Structures are given as C-alpha cells and as structure tokens.
Structure 1
Amino acid sequence: MITSRRAFLKTTALSSASLVIGFDGGRLLQATFANSVGSFKPNGWVCINSDGNVILTIGKCEMGQGVRTSLAMILAEELEADWTRIKLVQAKPSADSDLGTGGSDSMASSWKPLRQAGAAAREMLITAAATRWKVDRGSCKAVDGAIEHSGSGRRLEYGSLVAEAAKVPLPENPPLKNASDFKIIGRRTARIDGPDIVSGKARYGIDIKVPGMLFASLERPPFSGAKVQNLQEDTARAVSGVRSLIKLPRGIAVLANSTWAAIKGRAALAVEWSEPPKDAFDSDAHWKKLETASRQTGFVTRKEEPPPETNAITKTIDATYYYPFYAHAPVETMNCVADVRETRCTIWAPTQAPERLQKQVAQLLGIAPGDVDVNITLIGGGFGRRLGVDYAVEAADISRAAKAPIQLLWSRADDMKQGHFQAASVHYLSAGFDAQGAPLAWKHTKAGSFHNISPLDPKEMRDAAWYQDWSWGCYDVPYAFPAIQTAYVAIDLPVRHGPWRSVFAPSSVFARECFIDEVAQVRGTDPLAFRLEMLKGADVIKAGSTTVDRRRLRRVLETVRDKSGWNGTSISEGRGRGVACNAYAGRTYIAYVVDLSVDQENNVQVERVVAAVDCGLVVNPVGVEQQMEGGIIWGLSSALKGEITFEGGKAQQSSFADFAVARMRDTPAIEVHIIDSDAPQPFGMGEPPVPPIVPAIANAIFSATGTRIRRLPFRPE
C-alpha cells in the first residue's frame, strides 16, 4: 500500500477538507489531511473530497471480471453516494498489504469491509449536518450524495460537509442497510470503467511508456537446463533499431528502439542450444506415470464407511479420465516496464500478485521490498497466469543490466511455450451397486501435480486438509453414496505449472460429472433425475473444510431442468443433450444443460447452453451474466480445442494455430438464470462457471453419439 504522505495525497487527491476512511479486513481506520498519514496502511480506502467526488482506492486488480464496478456499487449503496461521482484508484502494495486477486474471493472478502466503510462515512456526514443545523440527527438522512433534513427540507451536498465530518469520531459499529432497502446493489449496471476501455483512455501494461525506455525481447532456453552452445550476435546487431544484446541467466535479451525491432533482432539471433537429455520431460511418458499412479491408494482425503445394514456390493463399474495440459493464452501476453536505479526500482505490470512481485524483484536486486514501487495496470486477461511474476523479474534483471528503463513483451510463442501450465491429471473412478442396482459406493482417485507457482512440487506428506485443497471437485463429491473414498496421488512435474482459471476443480469435476452419468446409465435412470435423487438426505454436508448445501445444488439443477425443457438426453439423430453441476468451494452453485450436434465427420457444434447460478446475493446481474458467458466459452475451448504437449522437455505448441481456442463461430446461444439466493452475501464468479461446462458437453456428446468422452480435448477421429 502507499506508505508515504506525498504518495497518499497525490493518489487520492486529498485536499485540506477531505474525509478518509480506510478498511483492512474487519477494521476501519480514519485519516484526515491534518493527520500524519505516513502510517495509514489499510488495504483500501474511501476518500470524499470537498468537490463531492468519492475516490475509492482498492487493491483488487481488474482483468475483465468487472470487479471495480461491483466493489464501487457496494460502497455507493451504504454511503448513499451519487453513482456518477464515484472514482476508482488502484492501490499499490507494501510489505504488509494484501492486494492479491485470485480464487474468486474479491467479492466475498470485500463485502463487509466496504459496507462498513461506506456506512461509517454516511453516519459521520449525517452527524456533521445535524451539528451544523443544530437539529436531532434522527431527523437527517443520506440520499444520493447529500444529507437531507426531513423537517425543513434543507439539503447539504457531501462535499460541503467533509471538513466537519472528518472531526467526527469514527463509529465502531455503523448500522448497515437491510437488503430490502438496497437501491444500487442488485441493479443492472454497466461497467464503471467501460467508457475508458472502449475509448482507449484506459492503460494496460502493454500501453505503458516512460522517458528513455528501451524495448526488450528475451530469447529463453527452450527447456529447463538448456545451455547456449554457440551464439553468433552479428546478425541480430545488424537489424535496424537494435541497440544491444545482454546475456543473462534467464536468456539473451535484445534491446532496441521499438518492440518490432527487438522482435526482429531476436529472430535474427543465431543461437544453438544444447540437446535435451534422453529422459527429458515427455507427455506420453507422463500420461503412463499418471495412469499408474491413479491406481495407487494415495493420500485419502475423504472416507465415509457405509452403515452396517447396507447391502452387499454385487456389481462394480470403473472408468479412467484424462485431463491434459493447458496454456492460459490471455489476449495481452506477459509484459512489464521496469526502471531499476541504484537503490530503487519502479515497476509497471499487469499482475495479480503485487506483493509477490515486489518481494521477488527486491530479492533479485538486493534491496528492501519497500524500495520496489509497483504500479498495477489493467490486465488483458489473467486466468491465474499473472499470479506468477517471472516476467517482472526478467524485466527488472534486464533493466539493471541495461542501466535504463525497459519494456519487456512476451511473444505469443513465449506465452505458449514458457507459461505456467495447467497440470495434467488422470482420474480413476469406480462405483459399486447391490443386487437391485442401487448405488452403494463411490471411489475417486486423482493423480496429478500441485498448482505451484514454483517449478517443482513439495515431496513431503502433508495433512488431509492440505491435500483436499488440491482436489476440489474430487473430495467434496456432493452425492449421497453410503460409502465414499477419495484420494490424491502427487506426481512431481518438472515443467512450470500453476493456477489456471478455476484452479484445481476442472479436471476433477470433468471426471466426477461424467462418471455420475455412467452410474445413472447402469441404474437405468435419467441423468438429471438421478443427480436430484442422489442429492437427497442431509441438506448440508461437510466434506473436509468445505460445506456443501445440497438445497442450493438441487435448486440450480431444477432450474435448468425447467428452463431447458428437459425431457431426457435424446433430442434427435446426431443431436444430444447433457447435464452437469458443481458447488464451487461450497460457495457458488452452477448447473448446465447443453444442446449440441455432431455431424458425420464427428465435428461438434454446441448450439445452446442453459445455465443456472446461485452465487449468493447478487451485486450486479450484468457482471454475473458476463462471467457465466466467459466461463462457458473458456470451458468450451478446453473441451473441444487445444492442449499443450511436451517432447524433449519442450512445449510443442506456439500459437493459436496449434493451440486453438473457441472463436465467435463456436459460441452457442447462452441463457443465464440467476437464482434469487437466500445467502446473505455475494460469492465469486470468475472461476465457478468453468468446471461443470466441460462434463456437460462431454455428456451431450455421449447422448448424440453413444461414445463416452474420457480424454480431453475431444477431437473428430
């Protein structure tokens, strides 16, 4: 967070008459212009200036999810602010701040602090107005950025009251509005930053330019451990605009007067790398290792024994599901501007993890984290990739060597080949039935790798809760089998891998929701009706650290059943219908019905997706719908399009030509039905839409073709 008085005043436009309230978790903090704000270190703050503008400084980064709009709506609701006067500022990290954005946690974690901050400011302004008018504060109320007096009709704008309000003691427990009184929360609202984005005024990382800046492109080792065997620099230096070449541990940097010159200079490098070792990482060998591991006992993350009176198992079915490596492939590739000086460094980066970036750059340079000034820009797609900060560390290293500010831009090939990939996994599932065909037992073992930002995984055993966190969608199976066992087998992965949109859940939910269809088939039951049948019993269940509310899951399933006109999986020849659902971390509940067609060449066209979502209290329905649509298309890509494969330690894909993503022509008609939830707060929407769409598509393909999809991505044979 901004720690200097000068930076604080500059960022918030704080005047001699401003009311400032900071929030940090459950605490509220107060500062005014006259106070010393050098130690004022909240994770966000509200500043009301004498001109009436309300400045909300937030730590959560914007990467297309619309979080700025939703957080501003929460504040405006409790503050009773004029929506047109709300302005947003991106906070900066400090050594003790917590500004990371990920895990679909922004709404849940910001809900209470923002409401408290808005309510506190509102109450202080009411007190200030009542004091000026010399009336009972109970006769005053806040309305649309002003305080009104019910007895006389007098009205004072917030800006005219901030000097007096700043002297009012901060209320410890300001009253919060009842949901029935909300006027802004729940209203369909366009993005607050939309005009700046479409007009080009908004600045992404790739837009940053500073005086004296050079442009860099970095030739990296093609696989871990590769060494330069031979390098001819003359061809690169001869490219017009190339200024210099710098050899670094991370590769060979080409610096130039423009991005294009740097790219051309790098392409002209005559570099010969060492050959990969015979045991270099290979996808085919890794699949075999994962498949073998999936048959092991592993670390049991959940075990429920059947009641003594349970019938004996007389029939068992099993299946193995394969989930591949994926790249993030954001539209804006990794980039960073770094300006390293003797004792300080300034960074401009589209990052989801500003504190991690600050600490790692400081460690590289041998300076204190507080001497690394991190400016968070808008992000052209994060999806978890920007929780890694390797690109920023590279930029700082190049700037230090060049003794100049530089902008490092990754190419699309860099992004595909050098990313933090979604780790592949194999899932072995089995189910047991009694003589009457009743399902009695469920077993699901996941063999995979942890989604680490660091290159390698920990080898030591941990406790059950730790392994559960790596197998969402596996251990928290919501269905009421008398006997349940889930397990995780950790396989070390010597290529970089990390969080990918919806993190640990996509592979497990793909396997679980496809296999529950297989169980329904053995049972001879409609798969949607079977899910509802298996969600009976206790309404709320505890699976490790996750609480699953079966009522909410039943509600979204019943909604897609009714809205889609579900009458079974069969539609007509060559067309199919599939269903899937999930409770994401026990917070956001989603169900899909997918209609698709498969032609004679086995080309799949997803035609219609009917979705139901219960994400708790809805702040902005527009944002929920957009996240659902984006998640559906993201999942469609992983179901039907590209994957990353490795040979000789190298990722084999380098562009959208060989790592395909869904395009506009692939986009189905999407209907989103938002449940009027009884949950008292909002939950995240960035990740939850992804996991259940893939199995819904796979189940629909089975409906159309009679072929089970157990390996992704599905491609015509």
Structure 2
Amino acid sequence: MSARRQFLQHSALLGSGLALACFLPTRGDTLPRVRKPVPAPLPPGAGPGLQPHVLLRIDTQGHITLVSKLPEMGQGVKTSLPMLIAEELEADWRAVQVVQADFDAAYGPQTAGGSQSVPQHFDAFLRLGAMARTVLLQAAADTWQVPVSACHAKLSVVHHAPSGRQLRYGELAARADQLPLPDAASVVLKPAAARSLLGTRVPGVDNAAIVTGQRLFGIDIALPGMLHACCVKAPAFGARVRQANLDEVKRQPGVRDAFVIDQEAAGQDLQGLMPGVAIVAESTWAAQRARRALRVVWDEGPHLAVTREHWPEHLRQAQAWFDDASAASATTTAHTVRRDGDVAQALAQAAHRAEATYQHPFLPHATLEPQNATAWWQGGRIELWAPTQHPAGGVNRVARLLGIAPRKVTLHLTRCGGGFGRRLGADYLLEAAAIARRVNAPVKLTWSREDDTQHDHYRAGGMHRLRGGVDAQGRLIAWEQRAVGFANPAQRDGSGPLEPGPGTLLGGDEFPAGLVPHGLWLQHTRATGVPLGAWRSPGSNVFAWVSQSFLDELAHAAGQDPLAFRLGLLKGTSNSTSNSAHAQRQRTVLQTAAQAAGWGTALPTAPGLRRGRGIASHSSQGGHAAMVVDITVDAEGQLRVDRVVAAVDVGAQIVNLSGAEQQVQGAVVDGLSALWHQGLDIDAGRIVQSNFHDLRLLRLPEAPARIDVHFVRSQHPSTGLGEPALPPVAPAVCNAIFAATGVRIRDWPLARTSLIGCGNPHRAPPLASSSSSPWVMASSRWCR
C-alpha cells in the first residue's frame, strides 16, 4: 500500500487536527473530495518520488514542493505554514519551493480570517512533516540494513552516524513512497528547544517576485483574448437602475457591450451582486473612459434616510434608550447581555464615579488592491481567478447565481493585495461571473478606487454609554455598559429580520465582565441599509477602545496610576471563564510593555510641546497584546506619535519572527490610520468619501518614529497574530493624548478633533525619552 493511501486512512485519527485542517469540507461546501497532484511541474529528469499528502512532494532529485492551501493576503501564511512542515521534515529550506493551491476540496477548509491559520494548522502540519521524515528515515535504514534508531535527518539528508554514510532525500524518495506511514498521533515531535527553523527570520517566499513585478495578484491576471469590464453600481444602498443611455455607451471607442444588471438578476442580498450597469471593453482604459459617458436614472431604493444628518436623531433615540431600556422601537432590538450583582447600588456607594459616551464611525477596508476578478464562462462551466479570503463561499455563491453545480466552478487563488475581512465577501466574484456569462471570452473586472470605497462591506458604527464606580480602596466595583450597534435587514429592500454585522454585538464575557463584582451589559441594535462586514479584529477593534479608554477615565477619577489600576483589576477573581483565563496573560503583557517603555520615568519636553504616554491592553482571537504609546502635541495642536512599545503573547512558539514582527508593526499603522483619519460620512443612503484625497490613510511622516515589538513566550498553544495586536492601538493613543492635553477622545477620527490650547489638568506619571530617529522598526525579541 502506498504512503499516500496510508495517510488518508491514518488522517482520521487526527480528529480536530490534520483531518479538520486539510480534509473536512466546510459547512455548505458541496464539492466532492478529490485527489490531485501537487500543483507544480516536476523538474526535467525528476521522478515523482515521495508524495504522502496533497501538500507535500519530494521528487527524486531532492526538490521539495510544499503547497500553501490558504489565501495569502500579506499575513504571511504562504511562508509560515510551510515552515511548520519543513521544521519536522528536517528540510533544507533553501531547497523548498512553495506553490499556491487553487480552491479544491482535497485541501479541506481554505478560508483565511480570524487569525485562525496558525492555531488550526500548527500541530497538524508539524505532524505531517514528522510522518514524512519517519518514512525517509526508515527508507534509509532499510537501504543500509541498520536500525532506524541509528539514523537521523538534517537539512534534507539522512545520516548514519556510526558509519558516516548519508543519503539525500531525493535518493530515498521513491523507496519511502512505498512504505506505510506511521499513525499521525504516534509520531514524536521534536522538543521546542530543538527546532531550528521556527522562530527565526525567514523572508517571505514571494518577496523576490513582488519586488521584481511578477504577476501574483488578481489584478495582474492576463489571458489571451481577455476583455476588460467595469460596473457602475447603484450609488445608494438598495437602489436599482431605472434607465440608462446604453446605446451611447456602446458607441464609445473600444466598447464591446454595455448592459444592465437588474434587481431580478442581482437578488435581494445587500452584500451580494449589486444592480448596476456593466461595461465591457477591449482595455481597462476604454471601459473607464466609456463610463464617463454613462448616464443613469436610479430608483433610489428604501435607504435614503441613512445619512449623517440623521446621526443626531440616532443619538437622541439611543440616549432615550440608555435612560429607559424599554424605549426600543419596532426597527430596533434591545436585550440584556449580562448582569452581575447590583450595579445601581454599587454606583451609589462608590467613592469615585465616572460616566462617558463613546461614538465610533463606519469604516472602510481600503485594501491597496481594489476588488477584482477574472472570469471565463464556457460550455456551462466557469473558471475564475480572484483574490479572496473565502474560496468555498465564493464558489458556492457563484454556482447559485449561475444555476450550476459547484463542481462546475473552478477558482484559482491569487495573492490578495490586502484583505482585513473585505475579501470574505463574494460580491465582486458574482459581478465578474454575471458579466462573463454574457461575454464569449475571458473578462477581467476591475473596480476603481471609488467603487472600492463606496461599495464596501463596512465596519459598523455605533455608540456606548458607560458608568463605573471605584471604592475607597481603589477597586473597580461597578461597570455599566449600554451599547448601540447597527444591523442589516435580511433583504435589500429593507425587509426581513435584522442581521447584525460581524463584531457589532457585545458578548457575555466582554472585558471586564467577571472581573468586577457588579456589572451590567445591555445591547441595542438599530437597522441600517449600509452593508456591514468583518473588519480587522471584529468587535475587539471597537470594544477595546471603549473599555480601555473608560478604564483610564476611572483610574484618573480615583487618582490612580493607569497601569497600577489595570494590574489591580486583573488580580481579581473572575466568574467569567474567558477573562479569568486571560487575566494573568494580560498582566504579563502589560508589565512587559510598561517596563520596556520606561513607565514611571519622565518624558523630555520643550517649550510649546506637550508630551504624554498612554497604555492599553486587550485579548482577542486567542492572543494578548499591550501597548504603550508616547505622543507629542505641538502649539498648533498637531499630533505626533513618537514611539509605540508593543508586548504580545500568542503562545509558545512564534513561527516566523520576521513575519510576526511585521504583523504587529502593520497592526500599529493600520490602527493609527483608522483612528487618525478614517470615518465615513453617509448622505442619502450613499458614502460621501470616494478616494484617498478625502479618505486619508496614514502617511509616512505621520507614522511612529519607532515601533518596538516584544514577544512574550507562554506555555499556551500558538495562535494567530494578524488581529490581536490591533485593538490596543487606539485606546493607548487616546490615553496618551489625555495624559498630554487633558482632552478625552470619545469619537473618531482624530483629524476632526482640535487639540489646540488644551489644558493638562490630569497628567500621567512622568515618562521616559523615546527615540527621535525617523521610521525605525526596532528589533523584536522574546521575553523569557
């Protein structure tokens, strides 16, 4: 029996490990389980050799091919996950080629999101490498007629120490492929201290291709005879085309076709195919130029009342509900999330109290690569090339739109130019498929930046009103949080039950639930026609800002040091399993960041400059992060972030130190960009901002002069890193602004807040000097 057949049998023993990670289809995935070879051609003269799994092949010349099954969008999985296999395989990384998988049920779930890539695959991929190494060692032992215990592997070579003999993996591959694989559960993994590849700095496998301009991204796809398309979508959410000057558009140079995608074709899904006008041309430029000649009369739909001018009305109704939870209307839902003790009595008896309302805006994803997809409809089948985070969802939705079986949809995964949750949606795939069905040629759909900004699936706006109390001993004894979030109606026309956007609802273990004896968490949900979607670290990107900012308010109200106040809270016994488990890890990252930042020492200052330092922490997606931020505000009210010190605990093993460091640095920049500049205005059911001139991203002069990253090693399983590092950024910056100016930031973006002439009645403890060097990414280190 071949090794690969044995592997299919033994994989069932891995339970939620390799079997789940590599073989079991996701819910709703109706594709059959199929087998296919590793998607990379054999070099000339090489035989197939050892292929124990669809993710791994060693040919007879010793070339090792590893398959990256998940979409790569800058989070580094195309490098880090193959490193797990290579570590236990004892592979020479220099001989490893990593290739991108297409969508196929043979690979199991292929969704990238929620910082789940590492935790879902860590143990399974290590075991895959160990299983392959085991049969290679046995093949060598059989060749030499020696005990396998006398053999060891290093850098793709098996050594027999007593005789000094050695065999390269390529020489053993064919023989090893005939051996039975060991049970996955029985293989012995190397001790962590013996790992030689994990935890080192490994360049991204695509780095050279990116800097030399090779075609990796969806927007790079070019096929023979390919046409190009754009789609002018309804400007207001839920609107549809009433009439359009299609004949004039078709007369424009290079235009092949122009047609309406009507409501019936689009359906009622607010996040699905949108009604509009598609233009197909011989080039992207010809399509975009013809777009300028298009004139559309729109039926504006049911969401014209969604406007920033109505925000005060939302506030008024929310405040009415805050004061009387029974005031919810028919277009809202309200419920108690959690109740501990007696908040009203505890607040009445508190020695120190604080109350505040925080508002947060709708946010776009602003991926560097706008949405795009290439589609080719032929013979009742469709072939797609696209940057997507959720291939299975895209395939199934395209199949439903076209009325075909999912097995008739082929999806090639390209590299994504950013994701952040936006590419979990399938609207641009549906758009390309709808256009391709009408065109007898491959067609590439490219969204403009304006399309991307005004037709996103946004992070929901909302507001929180909080009240808290601290007793005479400085202990937090009362916490009340009333949250207002937004939800989509189930149908584009505004009908159907409300469906909250990802991360818009408070959870029963939201921090500091369980760490305070008297707590009340209430959720109020209002309808909106704005399409909602996951945004990097859903929920936590808002809840951390609210809770960590308000903790700071309570600390100052009680006259306590913000760090000491947090550490005292995290000492408490929790009746919330989640926060109880997280408390010690949060304490550790807080202490690590504070010590590295010099908390308690003086920040240098100068005439006209106000300096401040803030601190915040949060636990999300299995990771724990704390940040200390130094800021300066000048006499003109201009903010400068001087230094960010981050401490992050994502378990026992960092996979790729270089990629991990970049993830934290990127989270800092992303979080700063959103806090400082981003906040969407909505008028008459449409987004006002259109491009980077009025939807600013953080620019290089605004970036921190220094970002120090410290990884805290714990004995917990390794988890993902793309999201846990983002939530503490905003509250740490806002708390630093208060320390410098006495101004509390309770709304985004900062660019709309004046810091000129602010007093400084409450200054945090004097703090240490930060580096003035321009754009220094400080080296990361493990804290043992």
Scaled by the length of structure 2, the TM-score of the pair is: 0.83
The 1:295/1:134 distance shift into structure 2, 3 A limit, reads farther
Match of 1:8 among 37, 42, 47: 37
Alpha carbons of structure 1 residues 423 and 452: separation in structure 2 relative to 1, 3 Å: farther
Compared CA separation, residues 280 and 569, structure 1 to 2 (3 A): farther
- Deviation per CA, 1:164-188, whole angstroms, max 9, x where unpaired? 1112111112111110111111112
Q: Are residues 337 and 547 of structure 1, via their aligned partners in 2, closer, same or farther at CA, if it must alter by over 3 Å?
A: farther
Report the alpha carbon displacement of residue 87 of structure 1 after superposing the two structures with TM.
Answer: 1.5
Q: How many angstroms apart in 2 are the aligned matches of 1:227 and 1:461?
A: 22
Query: 148, 156, 159: which is aligned to 2:159?
Result: 148
CA distance in 2, matches of 1:536, 1:4: 50
Of residues 506, 513, 528, the one that matches 1:493 is 528
**Structure 2 counterpart of 1:8, which letter?**
P
SS at match of 1:491: strand
* Distance change in 2, residues 1:9/1:80 (3 Å): closer
Q: How does 1:371-450 map to 2 (within 5 A)?
A: 371-434=408-471, 438-449=475-486
Which residue is equivalent to 2:114?
Answer: 103
Question: CA 1:17/1:258 → structure 2, altered by over 3 Å: closer, same or farther?
Answer: closer
Find the counterpart in structure 1 of residue 287 from structure 2.
262
**Cα deviation 1:646-677 (Å, max 9, x = unaligned):** 11101101001111110111111233332341
Q: Which residue of 2 aligns with 1:271?
A: 296
Residue number in structure 2 paired with 1:18: 49
CA contact (8 A) 2:241 2:260 kept: no
Q: Which residue of the partner structure matches residue 545 of structure 2?
A: 510
Q: Secondary structure at the match of 2:357?
A: strand
CA contact (8 A) 2:387 2:414 kept: yes
CA displacement 1:555-594 (0-9 Å, x = unmatched): 1111221111112797645222111111113x21111111
Q: How does 1:124-139 map to 2 (within 5 A)?
A: 124-139=135-150
> Whole-Å Cα distance in 2 between the matches of residues 683 and 5 of structure 1?
30
SS at match of 2:182: coil
Residues 503 and 540 of structure 2 are in contact (CA less than 8 Å); yes or no, is this contact kept in structure 1? no
Q: Write out per-residue CA displacement over residues 85-127 of structure 1, whole angstroms, 9 at most, x where no aligned residue.
A: 1112222334683100000111111101100100000001101
Quick check: 1:72 aligned with 2:82?
A: yes
- 1:166-565 alignment to 2 at 5 Å? 166-172=177-183, 173-249=186-262, 250-275=275-300, 279-286=304-311, 288-289=313-314, 291-292=318-319, 293=321, 297=325, 298-305=334-341, 312-313=349-350, 316-434=353-471, 438-449=475-486, 459=497, 470-471=505-506, 475-477=510-512, 480-538=515-573, 541=574, 543=576, 548-565=581-598
Residue 709 of structure 2 aligns with an amino acid whose one-letter code is H
CA deviations 1:607-629 (Å, max 9, x no partner) are 21111111112111111111111
Cα pair 1:653 1:659 within 8 Å, conserved: yes
What SS class does the counterpart of residue 285 from structure 2 fall into?
A: helix
Distance 1:288 1:688, change over 3 A: farther
8 A contact 2:422–2:535 mirrored in 1: yes
Find the aligned partners of 2:577 and 2:489 in 1 and give their Cα distance.
Answer: 22
Structure 2 residue matching 1:404: 3-state secondary structure: coil
Q: How many residues align?
A: 690
Amino acid across the alignment from 2:128: A
Correspondences of 1:7-86 after superposition (within 5 Å) = 8=37, 11=40, 13=42, 17-22=48-53, 45-86=55-96
SS at match of 2:747: coil
TM-score, structure 1 length as denominator? 0.90
Is the 2:150–2:162 contact (alpha carbons within 8 Å) kept by the matching residues of 1? yes
Task: Identify the match of residue 688 of structure 2 among 625, 647, 652.
Answer: 652
- Is the CA contact (8 Å cut-off) linking 1:116 and 1:176 kept in structure 2? yes
8 Å Cα contact 1:420/1:453 also seen in 2: no
Alpha-carbon shift at residue 239 of structure 1 (Å) = 2.8
Instruction: Give the Cα separation in 2 of the matches to 1:478 and 1:507.
Output: 16
Percent of matched pairs sharing the same residue: 37
Work out whether residues 376 and 382 of structure 2, in 8 Å CA contact, stay in contact via their aligned partners in 1: yes
Change (3 A) 1:78 1:358: same
Post-superposition CA distance 1:249-296 (Å, at most 9, x none): 221111111101101111211223245668531134256436345556
- The 1:276/1:597 distance shift into structure 2, 3 A limit, reads farther
Aligned to 2:19: none
* Structure 1: tracts of 5 or more residues without a match: 23-43
Moved more, 505-514 or 554-563: 554-563
Quote the Cα distance in structure 2 between the aligned partners of 1:228 and 1:260: 24
Question: Is the partner of 1:643 in helix, strand or coil?
Answer: coil
Deviation at 1:240? 2.0
- Describe the shift of the 1:185–1:438 C-alpha distance in structure 2 as closer, same or farther (beyond 3 A): closer
Please tell me the residue identity of whatever aligns with 1:85: A
* Counterpart selection for 2:643 from 595, 608, 626: 608
| Corresponding residue to 1:708 among 732, 740, 744 | 744
SS in 1 for 2:669: helix
- Aligned pair in 2 of structure 1 residues 385, 112: CA closer, same or farther (>3 Å)? same
Say if 1:166 and 1:396 are closer, same or farther in 2 by CA, change over 3 A: same
What's 1:675 paired with?
711
Structure 1 stretch displaced more, 645-654 or 230-239? 230-239
Structure 2 counterpart of 1:580: 616
Aligned Cα RMSD in Å? 2.9
- Structure 2 unaligned residues grouped into runs of 5+: 1-22, 24-30, 263-274, 326-333, 755-784
Tell me if structure 1 keeps the 8 A contact 2:246–2:259: no
1:32-67 C-alpha deviation (Å, 9 max, x unpaired) = xxxxxxxxxxxx622222121222123211111111
SS in 2 for 1:122: helix
C-alpha distance 472-624 of structure 1, shift in aligned 2 (>3 A)? farther
1:590 partnered with 2:600: no
Contact 1:277 1:648 in 2 (8 A): no
Q: In structure 1, what is the Cα distance between the partners aligned to 2:282 and 2:722?
A: 38
- Do 1:345 and 1:371's aligned partners in 2 also have CA atoms closer than 8 Å? yes
CA contact (8 A) 1:440 1:481 kept: yes
1:474 deviates by: 7.1
| Cα deviation 1:516-570 (Å, max 9, x = unaligned) | 00000111011112111211134xx564667642222111111221111112797
Deviation at 1:460, TM superposition (A): 7.3
Q: Which residue identity does 2:678 align to in structure 1?
A: G
Looking at structure 2, the residues matched to 577 and 312 of structure 1 have their Cα atoms a distance apart, in angstroms, of: 32
